[in-house]
Amino acid sequence: MSYANKRPGGRIMPARRLTPNVDPEKQFEKISQAIEEIYKHNASQLSFEELYRTAYGLVLSKNGPMLYSGVKQVLETHLKDRMYQDIYPHIEAAGSRPTSASCEALLASVRLLWSEHVTAMLVIKDVLMYVDKVYVKAAQLPTIYEMGMCVFRDQVLLASNQLLNGKVVDAIMFQILQERKSASEVNRDTLRGAVNMMIELQDPRQLRPMYDVYVEERLLAETGVHYAGVARMRISEMGAPEYLRAAQADLDTELERARDYMSPSTTPGLTNAVLENLIQEFTLPILRIPNAGLIEMLHQRDTESLYTLYRLYKPFPSSIQVLRTCIYDHIIGLGKKIMLGVESSSGNAADDGSQKQASDVPGIAARTAMALRWVQEVLSCYDVYDMMLKQSFADDQDMRNTIKDAFIEIINANARAPELLSLFIDDNLKNGLRRKSEQEIDHLLERCVLMFRFLKNKDTFEHYYKLHLAKRLLFGRSLSDDSEQSLVSKLKVECGSQFTLKLEGMFKDMQLSSDVNREMRESGVAADIGFDLNVSVLTPTFWPTMASSGASSGPRVIAQETGTDNSGANSSSNGSGNNGMKAASSGILIPSTAGISTAIEKFTSHYLRFHSGRRLTWQYAMGNADLKVHFRSRTHELNVSTYQMIVLMLFVDGEQDVSLTTEQIHAQTRIPSESLSRHLQSLACGKYRVLIKTPMSREISPSDVFQFNSGFKSPQYRIRIPVISARNNVETEQEKEASQAAIGQERQYVIEAAVVRIMKTRRQMTHEQLVNETVDQLSARFMASPKMIKSGIEKLIDREYLQRSPDDPRLYLYLA
């Protein structure tokens, strides 16, 4: 058996170290004296190794409690002595009437004592490291350093019923207030030191930093009181821009102060205290300062002040809401002013369809000019607020919605807005694009699409836009085909391909017509006609101007004749019956000597050879012609409409000095009476009077007599004679009623189609559900009324698309 097997099991313990038999009191005395020397800044003369061994021995000999409590007592004694020696004199000096100097002295003395204590404790904790490691850990006591901080708190700040703590806080508040009121410089290093002391020390009752309990809460309260008084004083003395700049400067100063010598946790509360009292409590008074509030800033486009206003209001949702409401109301007011200005300017020219005639040219022109001005002013107003949105309101989405809602309101408050927008686009595409860059044109079109987006009844705009576009295309009035196509593309992106289907069809017809005319010239048919003939072949479903023709389905045709009449100035017709006349397919009689009827036949024959099965109907009301007419003084080239050409042919193709009444002209041409009156007015009552009317008045009556004006003079060789009311103008009340009727009829079809689509998917729905769903689906196009929807439902029931449930008359069923 080996020795290892004989040895008892278990761990071999080291031999217990024997410590010399020393007096613990004497050992502690060394440490006590060392602490005093440390406070006296004589730590360099001490032997840290010896002190460490001394503390080690005391702990090892079970004298840890005596050492810990003894160190605490030494610290307390030292701090009490320093309190009476260095601090109390400054407390008395501060007294009931503190000054900046006395407060600074008090804070400086406390800061010095604190600084020395912290420095000493850092050394002491190193000396007593073994105490922390063994005794403190086992006894679950604060470390030596933590105990030293508690001693300072209890013996310095909280001693004598917290006298010093209150005085220190008073001194901090006094210095901050002095800095706020007089902007006088204070010793921020002293303040920073005092504040850091309060941050590091923890309140024994609330277990939070003393800074939070005694400094921050009071600071925020006194900050609120201070700025509440400042706000009351300023609001009566300053305009809004000045007030806002001062508030921003105060906020910046407070934040800089917080960063310099306050706790970072104070910043949010301090910001709130400043803004609550300077801004939130005076939200409306700031905006309503007479002659210097929000309205004035908006009028002056003071983007910088508005941006300051927005930044200061932003932290408070209620203030931002008030601001948005004020801006909304202001924009609505601007919209009413714009509308009032337009109405007052055109008030004298307002027409009554039952009393005013199309010949009221000055009134029509004035109304149209005012309509264009209304659109331009609304768009300019939007540009201003869009600019301020970006520069002053940080492109805030809620503010953007507010501005958008306001413009939707003012645009749709004008019942004619869709018509006026279409007129505005028409005017710009015909006249307004000259000398504009591509960027300016694109901006203009974008703004027009934006206004279109704001319209609630987009179908009404579509109605007028198709009318105006048709005239631009047929009469070649547009300045830029690219701009026309660009606008249609933008509308397509906005509303989808269905919305622009007919518009794109109109462009397609014009391109196909161009190809047809080129083919006719290349084939030699055009040479046999004797004059240039350009024909536009139009699809009736695309062109609104075809809607009332009453012709059968299939392509219809407008002849745009560009011919030359070489007859003498004194030639005229016999003035009776239909002699020398030939009826066109639309019922209009054309003088056979003009060669138009022959040209029509040749074109029709050529066209149908390549497009068999189609029917062409000629629309003379939409064409125009160039006539070379010889007057007594000289020859002029007249650009006239087809109807004007037919009327002139009655005078220049016949006998000299022929006189025709209105009735006779109507009988020989079969031009509709209303159109004939307008064309006779343009020839005899307009700027270029190539006919003489008896009696001389603007109104046309059946007995009025017309003669060719052989003595006509003009310095211009080429003269365009516009037709009265042929321009795109604001509609008269009578025309408006007709347009509304047509739009209403179209809406009825759209509503019925929507109801069928919905019911085909849902199969059954209650009346309320179906109405709501229909309104929702059509809201992007127009605002469908429940009455119109109900009427559409009744018609669909009659046509057996739907039926009412036998069990519930409010429930509709779809019939497959």
Q: How confident is the model at residue 554, as a pLDDT?
A: 35
Whether pLDDT at 329 is above 80: yes
CA 252 – CA 271 distance, rounded (Å): 9
| pTM of full prediction above 0.75 | yes
Q: How confident is the model at residue 255, as a pLDDT?
A: 93
Collapse the DSSP code of 644 into the 3-class scheme (helix H, G, I; strand E, B; otherwise coil) and give the result: helix
Scan for tokens 């540009």, then name that residue: 383
Confidence of residue 185 (pLDDT cuts 50, 70, 90): confident
Q: How confident is the model at residue 421, as a pLDDT?
A: 93
DSSP code string of 154-220: IIIISHHHHHHHHHHHHHHHHHHHHHHHH-----HHHHHHHHHHHHHSB-TTT-SBHIIIIIIHHHH
Q: How confident is the model at residue 446, as a pLDDT?
A: 93
Whether pLDDT at 594 is above 70: no
Confidence of residue 266 (pLDDT cuts 50, 70, 90): very high
DSSP code string of 300-334: HT-HHHHHHHHHHHTT-HHHHHHHHHHHHHHHHHH
- Dump pLDDT digits (tens) for 478-500: 888 889 999 999 999 988 888 88
CA 577 – CA 596 distance, rounded (Å): 19
Give the single-character DSSP code of 87. I
Mean pLDDT value of segment 715-725: 85
Whether pLDDT at 435 is above 90: no
Collapse the DSSP code of 457 into the 3-class scheme (helix H, G, I; strand E, B; otherwise coil) and give the result: coil
What element of type H or E holds 797? Answer: helix 786-798
Q: Three-class SS string for 658-688?
A: CEEEHHHHHHHHCCCHHHHHHHHHHHHCCCC
Q: How confident is the model at residue 597, as a pLDDT?
A: 80
Mean pLDDT value of segment 742-763: 87
Domain over 317-511 is classified CATH 1.10.10.10 = no
Alpha helix locations (H) across 347-480?
A: 361-392, 397-412, 417-427, 438-454, 458-474
Whether pLDDT at 474 is above 60: yes
Closest listed residue to residue 358, CA positions, set 676, 642, 643: 676
Taking a C-beta distance cutoff of 8 angstroms, is the pair 601, 453 a contact?
no
Scan for tokens 């007030």, then name that residue: 243
Q: How many CB atoms lie within 10 A of CB 564?
A: 14
Whether pLDDT at 428 is above 70: yes
CA-atom Rg of the chain in angstroms: 48
Q: How confident is the model at residue 279, as a pLDDT?
A: 95
Whether pLDDT at 347 is above 70: no
Mean pLDDT value of segment 629-656: 84
Collapse the DSSP code of 692 into the 3-class scheme (helix H, G, I; strand E, B; otherwise coil) and give the result: strand
User: In this structure, is the dihedral angle defined by the CA atoms of residues 374, 375, 376 and 382, taken in order, positive or negative?
Assistant: positive
Q: How confident is the model at residue 737, as a pLDDT?
A: 81
| Secondary structure percentages of the chain, helix, strand, coil, to 5 | 65, 10, 30
User: Please, is 140 exposed, middle or buried when counting C-beta atoms within 10 Å of its C-beta (0-12, 13-18, 19+)?
Assistant: exposed
- Dump pLDDT digits (tens) for 640-653: 988 989 898 888 75
Confidence of residue 569 (pLDDT cuts 50, 70, 90): very low
Confidence of residue 736 (pLDDT cuts 50, 70, 90): confident
Q: State which CATH number among 3.40.50.2300, 2.60.40.420, 1.10.10.10, 1.10.287.610 fits the domain covering 733-814.
A: 1.10.10.10
Q: How confident is the model at residue 805, as a pLDDT?
A: 87
* Cα three-residue angle 235-241-243, rounded to 5 degrees: 30
Reading phi first (left if > 0) and then psi (alpha if -120 to 50, else beta), residue 640 is in beta
**Parallel, antiparallel, or unpaired for β 635-641 and 718-720?**
parallel
Between 779 and 193, the higher pLDDT residue = 193
> Residue 121: which residues within 8 A CB-CB, separation 6 or more?
144, 145, 148, 149
Taking a C-beta distance cutoff of 8 angstroms, is the pair 734, 354 a contact?
yes
Instruction: Give φ, ψ of 730 to 5 degrees.
Output: -65, 135
Confidence of residue 353 (pLDDT cuts 50, 70, 90): very low
- Dump pLDDT digits (tens) for 126-156: 999 999 999 999 999 999 999 999 999 999 8
Whether pLDDT at 587 is above 80: no
Q: How confident is the model at residue 91, as a pLDDT?
A: 80
Confidence of residue 201 (pLDDT cuts 50, 70, 90): very high
What does each C-alpha distance from 722 to 678, 707, 717, 772, 804 come to in angstroms? 10, 19, 16, 49, 57
Q: How confident is the model at residue 575, as a pLDDT?
A: 30
Residues paired with 766 in a beta bridge: 811
Q: How confident is the model at residue 112, as a pLDDT?
A: 94
Give the single-character DSSP code of 546. G
Mean pLDDT value of segment 237-260: 93
Lowest average pLDDT, out of 91-105, 507-521, 564-578, 635-649, goes to: 564-578
Structural tokens at position 404: 């958008």
Whether pLDDT at 674 is above 60: yes
Confidence of residue 548 (pLDDT cuts 50, 70, 90): very low
Lowest average pLDDT, out of 256-260, 689-693, 740-744, goes to: 740-744
Lowest average pLDDT, out of 183-187, 504-508, 562-566, goes to: 562-566
Lowest average pLDDT, out of 120-134, 175-189, 751-765, goes to: 175-189
CA 23 – CA 57 distance, rounded (Å): 11
Closest listed residue to residue 596, CA positions, set 660, 551, 649: 649
CA 244 – CA 685 distance, rounded (Å): 64
Q: How confident is the model at residue 77, as a pLDDT?
A: 93
Q: How confident is the model at residue 724, as a pLDDT?
A: 72
Whether pLDDT at 12 is above 70: no
Mean pLDDT value of segment 320-341: 93
Give the single-character DSSP code of 702. T
Q: How confident is the model at residue 226, as a pLDDT?
A: 93
Length of the chain: 816
The topology under which CATH files domain 24-201 is: 5 helical Cullin repeat like (1.20.1310)
> Residue 154: which residues within 8 A CB-CB, separation 6 or more?
204
Q: How confident is the model at residue 351, as a pLDDT?
A: 44
Confidence of residue 382 (pLDDT cuts 50, 70, 90): very high
CATH number of 512-720: 3.30.230.130
Taking a C-beta distance cutoff of 8 angstroms, is the pair 469, 429 a contact?
no
Whether pLDDT at 573 is above 60: no
Q: How confident is the model at residue 403, as a pLDDT?
A: 96
Between 434 and 267, the higher pLDDT residue = 267
- Average pLDDT across the chain, whole number: 84
What does each C-alpha distance from 216 to 199, 206, 223, 579 come to in angstroms? 10, 14, 10, 108
Confidence of residue 364 (pLDDT cuts 50, 70, 90): low
Mean pLDDT value of segment 583-611: 75
CA 403 – CA 814 distance, rounded (Å): 43
